[in-house]
Structure 1
Amino acid sequence: MRHAIMVEEKSGDRKIPVAQYTRMSTEHQRYSTENQTQFIAGFASEHGMEIVRSYQDDGKSGLSIEGRKGLKQLLEDVQRGQVDFVAVLVYDVSRWGRFPDPDEAAVHEHTCKRNGIQVIFCAEQFGNDTSLGSTLLKSLKRSMAAEYSRELSVKVFAGHRNLVQRGYRQGGAPGLGLRRQLIDEHHNVKGLLHRRDRKNIQSDRVVLVPGPAEEIATVHRIYRLFLDHGMPERVIASLLNRENVLTDYGRPWTRGTVHQILTNEKYIGNNVYNHTSYKLKIQHVRNPPDQWIRKDGAFESIVPLDWYLKVQAVIASRSHHLDDGEMLKVLAQILEKCGALSGLIIDEEDCAPSSAAYRSRFGSLLRAYNLIGFLPGRDYSYLEINRALRQRHPEVLTEIQRGIEQVGGFAHRDRETDLLNVNGEFSASLVIARCKLTPAGSYRWRIRLDTSLSPDITVVARMNHDNTAPFDFYLLPSIDFTSAFLPYAECNGFALDAYQFETLDVFYLLAARVPLAEAA
């Protein structure tokens, strides 16, 4: 089938300047970037095109745009308008991405189109145009790519489950006193894997074996100090650091790293998998114990079982005498002291229940956090700023209501959702975006749209560099914007900055009432 090309044909011998994007994922090696490049080059030659720029992602999954520097750079260049091409050639829909949500692939393609750059899929059987047939086939292909990812995820998990239950190690550092040993399909030993080494033959397997004697002695010493001398983890860490004994990563000890030695079942030879999961790269989830996959006695233990059980009894007893309220009180005190919470922060606190105890008592750390009013986030250093911005939110909403009233309009505010209903004609929500300085010295804004409210317009107030006052405003109609197309940077290109304003005067004009002369 001959593809319909919508880019403008050039007169004479001048060729159409285009870019190419190629991607190779580890789970689909048959689509090498070399093969894609060769096919795209033939397509370009056939249609009078010249490839003037290349974007590439090697060994990157198509489930998410995170980590795909090539695609990110392509989208940034397109949105800045600083490109010397009029189209992007891609081998097929799956190389653009196998996003779990097919709409995400469409959003990234639309980002290119709205900036005048067409995305052309060279190996697909549908035309690269906007006809009904092409649109339907492209949507179907996106859905098929997403479904492929879901099916592959199920198959990979089933394979991992089988291997774990057969006693093979599935990823992760071995830990102090242990080493990863490579064996072939007939269980013949092939040697030890060093840090960052990976097996390169699919049928090979990895098991854990005892490491150097001096490391095993350190592990034993940690257990004896805890059991025989009653030393808590922080004291043990301090003792080891004074003696210049380092962890397996060559770092000083902390309460948390000692706690890991005392609580990880791999030291008694158990192979435990699926503590956490990250299916389809959507969200990290800490799974309950009944979902763990385990094989007891899979490896040679380096810690006696009775030592391990006694340690677990001591650790569990720390929280047994505390009721739920007392445990939450301790957790709130840690939050007040540290300004944030995580499993490691909790485990670093002396005389406090471990993070495992909180998971066991409340079902998950997240539920315990919620019970004391803590909302975890990645950027803990901005916790105070976020709290101040949340307090500022109702104040700004009140200011907007006053501005609407001053131009003759009215706005009803929903007390539960803070959604504004303006003149009974349209709805609006307010998002206050925190400003953050990047390591490169530029500024970025964290913007999260509350799509569950379905506002007609989202007013984004981007804060200034010290987050004390609004820097500028964006008025974003919901019909034109998604979470993938937002003004995160100082300059975002004309397509976005056309919605940028220094004040909210334009928004107030939308709500203004204009008096009409009485008809004769």
Structure 2
Amino acid sequence: MVKKGVIAGVWLRSSPTHRYGLSVDDQKNEIEKMAYRDGVKIVKYWTDSDSGEIHPDKNRYFLTMKENIRKDPGFIKILYVYDKARFGLVDSAGEIRINEFFAKNNIELKYLNERLIPVGAICRRSTDMQEASLDVQMDSILEYATKDNCEVRKWWLFGEEKGQSGVSIERCQDWKNMLDELKNSMYSIERILVDDVSRIGRTSPNRKIYIQELFKEYKAPIYYINAPFKDDGSLEDGVMQFVRHGEAFQSSKEKSKNVKTRSLVYARKGFWLAGNIYAYKRLVLDEHGNPFVTNGKNLILEKKQSKQVKTQRIKLIPGNSEEIKVVRRVYAMYNDDDIGFYTIAARLNAEEIPAARGGTWTPTVVRSLLTNEIYVGTSHYNRQTTDIWSGITTKVPKEEQVKVENAHEGIISKELFFAVQEKIKKNSNRFKTGHHPNTLKDTPKFPLIGTIFCLDCQRRYASAWAVRKSNRRGKYVQAYYKDTSRRTFGKKVCPNSISLRKDDIDALVMNRIKERLMSGVIIQKVKNELKKKLDSLVSSKKTDGSKIKIEAELNEIESKIENLLNVIARKGMSNQVIDKIQTELDQLISKKKIVEKNLGNIESSDTVCVDINKLTEKIMDNYKKVIDKLENGQFSSQRRIVRELIHSIAVSPTKKVIYIAYYDLPEDIVTDMHLDGSAIPEPLYNRVGPINIKEEFYMGCIQIDEHMYEDVKPLTCFKL
């Protein structure tokens, strides 16, 4: 019973994770009504309406309240709180700490609602055109939560910025993040509210039921608030669930089929169905095929923008004049000037001309532009199809493809386009583009790929090769490692970059590896490590488990035989029963003999002596033979040895020096290496982007091998 005239304080906090939920004003009104009925005077409000912090120990407003109470513990006797959820995500231990704090300061905690069920909510919008879809779902969930005494602690909104397909929802990163959060119990949620079965995807019924069971495993079962079933485990309820999930799945398949059919109809009429194309603009047409006018101008769609009315259509028209000049220039450079993909990309990057998507030009982007039929006015659809449920992509037969010539105005002549295609086809026999040489037959292999980089530009070296002809040598392959910045950006990024002849640098590194592996110190370390492993292998009692199991089986058989003999000794049984028992007894005796034989084999194998020293010498002989043949060995063996023994090969173009960093031996995990107390960074072949390793790393921690390049022949490597 609260005494009248007591002074109280109030803790107010809005819903922690979303703008929807119980507001601060609603809490305040309810608390003031209770305080009035109790005859209590409220003198202090602590309000958190904007922090979004869900942990009380990190909430600055909550910490301020605790500090005020510590300084003047007697100025309030009661603290009104709407419910326990207002303190945030608190486990049982945290709740005890909060109660102890207020009890220590002689303050009574008074809750209007003792407990609201903490829940999460999933909402999904399929397309951008369903603008009100999320709001409708959220209002429906909030209405249900209010009636069922729930508080929505977390909203997962899929398709908030851009529509999210129900078929692919499980592949999106937000869905995976949600599962991780539920698995780790980040929000202490007891159930998940969903408006309808289709909102968590339109996959097969079996898949949907699996998702439901997965959520149950995470202790957050799904509640469909507008579904005619309750997931109570009954047969009728299970059948109803399967039917409703099947209806959503079938509806999605039918819609997908209808959309594809209509799209191909519009494609045959010359309308554009895809996104942005470099050097083109997307003009919106009305249902009569006329330009759609808004604010006195034709409506042109910007990047990532889509039409808002289903009856509207899109037509491609020539776009930015500067981009059109770039396209025509690329075709002219390749066809007339006989310049390749890499050089074209390097020149465009050197002039700081932005690529199609605002990035840098690469050989792949250049090749894609040169082979795109769009630039001669031809639209080509339905060349391949991807099953959205299995993710498998298959080619569509030519007779089912849709190819429309003169669908829009071309910016390249057909004669020039086809001449470029013939040239690309001809050059493809000479330059192997689009394939890594290590995956092709009868091509040079590059065992050092992923380990070489330039110290000046911090870029990785890549493979480069071509088939050449000369009067003296005839047909031959020229192969080398080349700085990727030089190959893609030209001399602008790394003007002093040096290329390495493949044969020279491979032979040099393999010889260094061979010398290292055959050195007396390494041989002894490998030998000692091998002995340790053989000792542990021989001394380990690997047969103990099998022996115990067989002995137990033998004891069980003997016990059964003894029981059967006791049964046969009894009188009064018919001959038929005795014959049946005798047959079973014979089978057990035969089985016993087999088990005893197996047990004898195991016991004899345990007594076999292994000469570890002799076995070690034999293995070391094979080790030396493999090392001797390293230079001419299989590519897979060379590649494996390089990755296990060499951390990196750094090229300093300005000093014309190479640094080779080795791992210490022998170890199983190379990323755990330490030299001179300094940790070696992660292997380069696992890196993406710049390497970010400085020359001091090699000078201070790693043994250095230096090699000089002749100025006259920068591709040939010479040892000092």
TM-score by length of structure 2 reads 0.43
- Measured at CA, do residues 28 and 211 of structure 1 come closer, stay the same or move farther in structure 2, by a change above 3 Å? closer
Corresponding position of 1:484: none
Give CA-to-partner distance per residue, 1:114-144, whole Å, 9 cap, x none: 2433321111112331111111111222222
Equivalent residues in 2 for 1:55-74 (5 A)? Answer: 55-58=156-159, 59-66=163-170, 71-74=175-178
2:404 matched to 1:295?
yes
Q: What amino acid is the match of 1:172?
A: G
Tell me how far apart the structure 2 counterparts of residues 265 and 60 of structure 1 sit (CA, whole Å). 30
Corresponding position of 2:341: 233
2:405 matched to 1:267?
no
Corresponding position of 1:318: 427
Corresponding position of 1:245: 353
Q: What amino acid is the match of 1:182?
A: V
1:184 aligned residue (286, 307, 321)? 286
Cα deviation, residue 170, structure 1: 1.3
- Measured at CA, do residues 258 and 14 of structure 1 come closer, stay the same or move farther in structure 2, by a change above 3 Å? closer
Equivalent residues in 2 for 1:146-157 (5 A)? Answer: 146-157=249-260
Give CA-to-partner distance per residue, 1:463-504, whole Å, 9 cap, x none: 999599xxxxxxxxxxxxxxxxxxxxxxxxxxxxxxxxxxxx
Q: Residues 234 and 350 of structure 1 are in contact (CA less than 8 Å); yes or no, is this contact kept in structure 2?
A: no
Cα deviation, residue 195, structure 1: 2.1
Structure 2 SS opposite 1:280? coil
Tell me how far apart the structure 1 counterparts of residues 385 and 672 of structure 2 sit (CA, whole Å). 35
2:152 aligned residue (19, 33, 51)? 51
Q: Residues 129 and 308 of structure 2 are in contact (CA less than 8 Å); yes or no, is this contact kept in structure 1?
A: no
2:320 aligned residue (212, 220, 226)? 212
Tell me how far apart the structure 2 counterparts of residues 267 and 410 of structure 1 sit (CA, whole Å). 77
Structure 1 SS opposite 2:306? coil
Cα deviation, residue 233, structure 1: 2.1
Q: Residues 153 and 279 of structure 1 are in contact (CA less than 8 Å); yes or no, is this contact kept in structure 2?
A: no
Tell me how far apart the structure 1 counterparts of residues 330 and 271 of structure 2 sit (CA, whole Å). 27
Give CA-to-partner distance per residue, 1:285-306, whole Å, 9 cap, x none: 2625625322111011111111
Structure 2 SS opposite 1:174? coil
Tell me how far apart the structure 2 counterparts of residues 315 and 304 of structure 1 sit (CA, whole Å). 17
Cα deviation, residue 227, structure 1: 2.0
Tell me which moved more, 297-306 or 331-340: 331-340
Tell me how far apart the structure 1 counterparts of residues 167 and 130 of structure 2 sit (CA, whole Å). 15
Corresponding position of 1:85: 189
Q: Residues 154 and 187 of structure 2 are in contact (CA less than 8 Å); yes or no, is this contact kept in structure 1?
A: no
Structure 1 alignment gaps of length 5 or more:
1-11, 341-347, 353-398, 412-422, 424-462, 469-520
- Measured at CA, do residues 464 and 185 of structure 1 come closer, stay the same or move farther in structure 2, by a change above 3 Å? farther
Corresponding position of 2:263: 160
Q: Residues 121 and 192 of structure 2 are in contact (CA less than 8 Å); yes or no, is this contact kept in structure 1?
A: yes
Bigger Rg, structure 1 or 2? 2
Cα deviation, residue 44, structure 1: 3.3
Give CA-to-partner distance per residue, 1:149-174, whole Å, 9 cap, x none: 22222112112211211111111321
Tell me how far apart the structure 2 counterparts of residues 117 and 199 of structure 1 sit (CA, whole Å). 39
More helix per residue: 1 or 2? 2
Q: Residues 153 and 187 of structure 2 are in contact (CA less than 8 Å); yes or no, is this contact kept in structure 1?
A: no
Structure 2 SS opposite 1:209? strand
Tell me which moved more, 78-87 or 328-337: 328-337
- Measured at CA, do residues 218 and 115 of structure 1 come closer, stay the same or move farther in structure 2, by a change above 3 Å? closer
Cα deviation, residue 410, structure 1: 11
2:517 matched to 1:408?
no
Q: Residues 75 and 111 of structure 1 are in contact (CA less than 8 Å); yes or no, is this contact kept in structure 2?
A: no
Tell me how far apart the structure 1 counterparts of residues 329 and 299 of structure 2 sit (CA, whole Å). 28
Structure 1 SS opposite 2:310? coil
Corresponding position of 2:208: 105
Q: Residues 328 and 412 of structure 2 are in contact (CA less than 8 Å); yes or no, is this contact kept in structure 1?
A: yes
Cα deviation, residue 28, structure 1: 8.8
Tell me how far apart the structure 2 counterparts of residues 464 and 257 of structure 1 sit (CA, whole Å). 38
Cα deviation, residue 271, structure 1: 0.7
Q: What amino acid is the match of 2:138?
A: T
2:440 matched to 1:331?
yes
Structure with the larger RCO, 1 or 2 (CA within 8 Å, 6+ apart): 1
Aligned length in residues: 349
- Measured at CA, do residues 124 and 244 of structure 1 come closer, stay the same or move farther in structure 2, by a change above 3 Å? closer
- Measured at CA, do residues 464 and 127 of structure 1 come closer, stay the same or move farther in structure 2, by a change above 3 Å? farther
Tell me how far apart the structure 1 counterparts of residues 145 and 281 of structure 2 sit (CA, whole Å). 51
Q: Residues 57 and 68 of structure 1 are in contact (CA less than 8 Å); yes or no, is this contact kept in structure 2?
A: no
Structure 2 alignment gaps of length 5 or more:
1-112, 292-297, 451-462, 468-536, 550-594, 596-667, 674-720
Tell me how far apart the structure 2 counterparts of residues 337 and 150 of structure 1 sit (CA, whole Å). 48
Q: What amino acid is the match of 2:545?
A: V
**RMSD of Structure 2 on Structure 1 (CA):** 3.9
